[in-house]
Amino acid sequence: MNILNYYIADMHFGHDNIRRLSNRPFKTIEEMDRTIIDNWNSRVSDNDDVYILGDFSYKSEDPILYLKQLNGRKHLIIGNHDSKLLKNPSCKKYFVDISDIKMVNDNGTQIVCCHYPMVEWNGYYRNVIHFYGHIHNNFKNETNQYISKVKNAYNVGVDIIGFMPRTLGEILENIN
């Protein structure tokens, strides 16, 4: 069995206003949530690892409603909108691990995963890759303009990667 690693950030499950703020192409919050869940499960098996780079849900009364629907072994890298999820002890059992920053070895490629974009990271000068979220698809944002010029730094927010978890190869292919 071939186990894959997937990456995704900024789903904002349950957050209706994100549709407008990030110009998402969904008529309702239910359509957005259902599309992300369906896309996720169409590619991720129960044995695959999914690295969630923050902002899993926001404004949701019960993040477990989403967590229990999603395939894969979930690893949470904490984002600024994950505090409600983290306050619920029942949510934590859905994650293999929870961290602020995580180094992932993806078939020999080292990736530093953090919700926030960084200018430099451990291994930057040794071609270690950095995946981040947080800044969505606001291309006029000063941070976005700057980080887009930093080598080996890639935005894995759902608004950028097509509303589904992506593999390392897909992310690099999409950027290049």
Per-residue pLDDT 10s for the chain (176 aa) are 688 999 999 999 999 999 998 989 999 999 999 999 999 999 999 999 999 999 999 877 789 999 999 999 999 999 999 988 898 999 999 999 999 999 999 999 999 999 999 999 999 999 999 999 999 888 788 888 888 899 999 999 999 999 999 999 999 997 65
Question: Residue 42: how many CB atoms within 10 A of its CB?
Answer: 9
Q: Give the pair of three-digit tokens for residue 67.
A: 């967590």
What is the rounded distance in angstroms from the CA atom of residue 73 to the CA atom of residue 160? 22
What is the rounded distance in angstroms from the CA atom of residue 79 to the CA atom of residue 42? 25
Q: Give the pair of three-digit tokens for residue 54.
A: 């923050």
